[in-house]
Amino acid sequence: MSDFLRSYLTVAIFGGVAVALVGVLLGLGSFLRPSRPTATKTMAYESGVDPVGDMWSQSNIRYYVFALMFVLFDVEAVFIFPWAMRLETYGYFGLVEMAIFIFILVLGLAYAWRKGMLKWV
Amino acid sequence: MEITSNWYLILSALLFSIGAIGLLIRRNPLVMFMCVELMLNAVNLSFVAFGDRLGDIAGQVSVFFVLVVAAAEVVVGLALVVAISRRRATTTADDLSVLRG
Amino acid sequence: MDFSAALPVADVVAFNRPAIDWHAASPELILLGFGALLTLVDVIFLDRAKQYTAALAGIGLLVTMVPILTLANDMSETGPRVMFDGAYVIDEFSLIMKAIFILSGYVVILLSTNYIAEGDYWESEYYGLMLSAILGMVVMASSRDLISIFVAFELLSIPSYMLATWKKRSLESNEAGLKYYLMGVFASAIMLYGMSLLFGASGETILTKVNASLSSDPLTGESLSSSTPVLTLAVIFVIVGFAFKVSAAPFHNWAPDTYSGAPIPVTAFLAVASKIAGFVALVQLVFVGFYARADVFQPLMWILAAASMIIGNLIALRQTDIVRLMAYSGVAQAGFILAPLAVAGDVGDQALASIVSYLAIYAAMNLGAFAVILAAARKTGSTSIESMNGLFSYAPGLAVAMTIFMFALAGIPPLGGWFAKFQIFFAVVEQGGTWAIILGVLLAVNSVIALYYYASVARRIWADQAPDGDLTPIRIPPSLGAALVLTVVATLVFGFLPGAVSQFTDVGLIAGG
């Protein structure tokens, strides 16, 4: 077995012990404790507040619009990181290039803002 | 046993096939988008693995472009699904059959 | 703390600022500028900007033609201009294609002006998206690098997905867009996987270097007599990705649904400009990137061409909707344009020249046919073939125009289409092999089948009665009229003076090929 796989053996053993420990403790608990369920006890725990709706509630479609905008602008940042790493070697040329790139991104953000996409209605 | 770039290429081929098959047989647009993402990320893995094998940075540079374009693409697709689901309750690709012939 | 030891900054090579030929890049920069300007105007003035956006987009396209003409004028002195180590090339082929994209984009904007303003559509964003799609096409015509081709492909596809769904509150339009989107992303994923294999097999992304490494083994330097499995798979995947874009059978299923669900000007845009962009990419890949591997791409192109012609024409015979008829006839014509690529390895010059002239003529006659469909639908509100009945009795001008376009599409001699079809036919037969002759026979047989359905549309226009005997004339707005005149003139000129076309389209092999 290579060193590479052997180092994963540690991970596997650790995982196995973790699963076994949790299983033993939970199993022991359910074996020892009395079981007398009531409606209040089986209710889902939502930080002390009474739960609203069931588990499979649909999330509001508004979340999607924000999620979409986040994904777009988040991913565009991937071009900025390598540029920032070597900012000095690129000089003014790189600065102007990035200014144009960010200008176009800001144009998109301004568009979303003017069209009311950033408002939570 | 050593993990060579071949392993990554096989994994990427598997991921790509799973994505392609999923796209062809699943009918929920959201699941279809996930399959597309799977295919595109298989491509990314393949680019990185080849780049590593060839010692060529172009493989990783390509991934940047694929990543960004895929994000833009998925955003457009999700926006389409949102637009459609505003008009009807369920969204499966089979329900979309106004156009045929 | 000193990080310089930990970070490999010290041994990074110095940055060499790439030399940018501003003149060569100006068409793209102008288009980008106008696209940004349109968005800016929309952001600042909101609804008040609506009435100016169409004009602004049209002006943008016309201004973009200026540097293309000056570049074409300089071409005889400077030769092809190469940027970024050969990733971006401006040669005769790319200039002709850019001109075709911009002019067909201009015609589509003329078609859109009244249609979009009078219907239930968002207006301001429409033209901005149109310009960015055209920018993608213009970039595509110069891209000679796998990554630039991919980025250009997506730049033209993503706005098209949105434009196909442009009709507000219409489930049909939404469905058209979602179908187009799903097929489009599937195609681009396949194409990308092919590109990654190609990169892995050749170690290059620039097409000329890819071609060099396809002909010889990268490790030993010996010339490869046959392809390796990875290379074969890579070439097939990349070509199949673009076969979706040009709606070649068996990858054509999205086209009829998307065409009939999308707004008519957008359909014209997808059927003409977007499709031509797919062919431009295929031509560049075949003639520059894969030219050494004719043993792989020629059989594939043969199958795609034959299947597209036969399937497209046979299904077109049964259509009752004129837009779906145009979609299937578009599939058949895709087969025609792919046919020379099946012999490109042997008769490269002729194959390229025939494809370029077919694309130019194809743009003119298809845009014209869609302009007439759009004008007729202004009165009838329908795109069924029956709605064309008796067009001559109430709109003789439109009837004559539609007849010209139908006969041009069918390839009847004095009109544009015959020259295009004959050039394709001769390029294929010139090669002389058994398979080429079979393809030539298929081309001839399919021209006859196509004649049947084109002629039956013309027969309805002239011979049948108008529905309900309603003879009120159609009011044609000036921009639509201008589009009709432009396309009729182009179709007639290409037909009567084929020398004028071949003078421009006889481009020789693509630079670097």
* Cα–Cα nearest to C35, from C14, C8, C59: C59
In angstroms, rounded to a whole number, what is the distance separating the alpha carbons of residues C138 and C125?
A: 20
The whole-number pLDDT of residue C1 equals 39
State whether A107 and C40 contact (CB < 8 Å): yes
- Taking residues C332-348, what's their average pLDDT? 85
In angstroms, rounded to a whole number, what is the distance separating the alpha carbons of residues C108 and C371?
A: 9
Most C CBs within 10 Å, among A107, A109, A117, to test the C interface:
A107
Burial C100-131 (b: 16+ CB within 10 A, else e): bbbbbbbbbbbbbbbbbeebebebbbbbbbbb
Asked whether the predicted pLDDT for residue A99 surpasses 80, the reply is yes
Beta-bridge partner residues of C90: C81
Query: Angle formed by the axes of helices C92-118 and C124-140, to 10°?
Result: 170
Q: Residue C19: pLDDT band by 50, 70, 90 thresholds?
A: confident
The whole-number pLDDT of residue A18 equals 95
Q: What are the chain B neighbours of A78 within 8 Å (beta carbons)?
A: 64, 67-68
State whether B20 and C186 contact (CB < 8 Å): yes
The whole-number pLDDT of residue A19 equals 96
In angstroms, rounded to a whole number, what is the distance separating the alpha carbons of residues C104 and C114?
A: 17
- 3-class SS of residue C369: helix
Asked whether the predicted pLDDT for residue C444 surpasses 80, the reply is yes
Q: In sequence order, what are the residues at sequence separation of 6 or more whose Cβ sits closer than 8 angstroms to the Cβ of residue C303?
A: none
Q: In sequence order, what are the residues at sequence separation of 6 or more whose Cβ sits closer than 8 angstroms to the Cβ of residue C209?
A: C86, C202
**Percent of chain C residues past pLDDT 70, beyond the cut:** 91
State whether B65 and C147 contact (CB < 8 Å): yes
Q: What H or E segment, with its residue span, contains residue C83? A: strand C81-83
Judge whether C199 and C146 are in contact, CB under 8 Å: yes
C-alpha separations of A14 from A22, A25, A27, C96 in Å: 12, 17, 20, 66
Enter the tokens of residue C224. 């490869």
Q: Lowest mean pLDDT of A71-80, C30-39, C98-107, name the range.
A: A71-80
In angstroms, rounded to a whole number, what is the distance separating the alpha carbons of residues C341 and C243?
A: 13
Task: Please count the other Cβ atoms lying within 10 Å of the Cβ belonging to residue C232.
Answer: 18
Q: How many CB pairs under 8 A join A and C?
A: 24
Judge whether C423 and C357 are in contact, CB under 8 Å: yes
Task: Please count the other Cβ atoms lying within 10 Å of the Cβ belonging to residue C51.
Answer: 10
State whether B86 and A65 contact (CB < 8 Å): no
Nearest by CB to residue B32, choosing from C169, C182, C203, is: C182
**Percent of chain A residues past pLDDT 70, beyond the cut:** 88
Q: Which of residues 96-115 of A touch C (CB under 8 A)?
A: 103-104, 107-108, 110-111, 114
Judge whether C300 and C290 are in contact, CB under 8 Å: no
Q: What's the gap between Cα A9 and its chain centre?
A: 29
Q: Residue C6: pLDDT band by 50, 70, 90 thresholds?
A: very low
Q: Is A85 on the interface with B (CB under 8 A)?
A: no
Angle in degrees, CA C242, C246, C250, rounded to 5: 85
State whether C196 and B76 contact (CB < 8 Å): no
Name the H helices within C165-219.
171-202, 207-215
- 3-class SS of residue A100: helix
User: Which of B77-86, C42-51, C397-406, C413-422 holds the top average pLDDT?
Assistant: C397-406
- Taking residues C187-192, what's their average pLDDT? 92
Q: Residue holding tokens 């920018």?
A: C135
pLDDT digits 0-9 by tens, C266-292? 999 999 988 999 999 998 888 888 887
Q: How many residues does chain C have?
A: 513
Asked whether the predicted pLDDT for residue A32 surpasses 50, the reply is yes
Extents of the domains making up chain A: 3-114
A: neighbours with 3+ CB pairs under 8 Å?
B, C
- Taking residues C413-433, what's their average pLDDT? 79
The whole-number pLDDT of residue C93 equals 83
Burial A91-112 (b: 16+ CB within 10 A, else e): eeebeeebeeeeeebebeeebb
The whole-number pLDDT of residue A86 equals 82
Q: Residue holding tokens 């004339």?
A: C473
* Cα–Cα nearest to C280, from C246, C256, C248, C241: C246
Nearest by CB to residue A86, choosing from C15, C17, C39, is: C15
C-alpha separations of C411 from A36, C317, C328, C380, C508 in Å: 86, 17, 16, 28, 25
Q: Is B1 on the interface with A (CB under 8 A)?
A: yes
Q: Residue C446: pLDDT band by 50, 70, 90 thresholds?
A: confident
Asked whether the predicted pLDDT for residue C299 surpasses 60, the reply is yes
The whole-number pLDDT of residue B77 equals 86
- 3-class SS of residue A49: strand
Enter the tokens of residue C125. 């964003």
Judge whether C125 and C168 are in contact, CB under 8 Å: no
**Distance to chain B for C389, nearest Cα, Å:** 21
State whether B71 and A72 contact (CB < 8 Å): yes
pLDDT digits 0-9 by tens, C193-220? 999 988 888 888 888 788 777 776 655 5
Q: What H or E segment, with its residue span, contains residue C90? A: strand C88-90
Q: Residue C3 corresponds to which amino acid?
A: F
The whole-number pLDDT of residue A25 equals 93
Asked whether the predicted pLDDT for residue C9 surpasses 90, the reply is no
Mean pLDDT in chain A?
Answer: 82
**Percent of chain C residues past pLDDT 90, beyond the cut:** 14
Regions of chain B with pLDDT less than 70 = 1-2, 88-101
The whole-number pLDDT of residue C10 equals 43
The CATH number of the domain covering residues in A3-114: 1.20.58
The whole-number pLDDT of residue A61 equals 66
